[in-house]
Amino acid sequence: MPRPVIFDLFHTLVPGGDPERDRVIGEMALMVGVAPAALVAAYHATWRDRMTGWDTEETVRTLARRLGGTPTEEQVARAAAHRRELACRLLARVAPETLAVLDALRADGHPVGLLSNATAETAEAWRSSPLARRVDVAVFSCEVGLAKPDPAIYRTAAERLAAEPADCFFVGDGADGELAGAAAVGMTVLRTTEHNDTDPAWAGHVLTNLGELPVLLHER
């Protein structure tokens, strides 16, 4: 029986859009009356809180107040909407070639999963993205309160695919220690460098293009 394949999201299925993220946060800062550079730094410093619990409005409100701002709820809502628009844009940038890979895997009988350290706006945008209908199970850190490389989040993804971790492939660029985390629970790890060479020290198999994946899995 074909084995499940679990993908990371950003820098794996879609580009991460890091410079654009910082630009958008700077624009949000002006909407809520705080210094752009300070809000960007605050977003980076609170990544785990944002990815495991806070919703979009809570993030804006909390960080603006920590920086001395006193945003109105209207300002918070406007900034949060700006952030949601970014999430939709990033997910819409999935390449047709990537969608074709997912279609090929499913045609070959592989259950397909997603495991992403992601904030609430990404999980919301996912539902209307072209990726969603090609993925059987999507696990977002913001929804389960766990983040990679916590072993429990990998086990959650495998369980939802009705599989053991050792039966699953994990494909990711390597951010947040995700490759070591997947290997620690017994998954077969494949590193991708198509969008970003995030973990060059990883000694396992490397995919320079996701298009290589269906052939590789056939060989295995």
107 pLDDT band, cuts 50/70/90, is very high
114 pLDDT band, cuts 50/70/90, is very high
- 26 pLDDT higher than 80: yes
Percent of the chain with pLDDT over 90: 96
Q: What is the mean pLDDT of residues 35-42?
A: 98
SS3 call for 106? helix
Average pLDDT of every residue of the chain: 96
219 pLDDT band, cuts 50/70/90, is confident
Domain ranges of the chain: 5-15+94-219, 18-91
Q: For the domain made up of 5-15+94-219, give the CATH fold.
A: Rossmann fold (3.40.50)
pLDDT tens-digit map of 5-19: 999 999 999 999 999
Tokens at 105, concatenated: 């895997």
Residue with the two structure tokens 């859009």: 17
At residue 29, the pLDDT reads: 98
**Backbone torsions φ then ψ of 188, nearest 5 degrees:** -85, 120
Tokens at 28, concatenated: 């949000």
- 218 pLDDT higher than 90: no
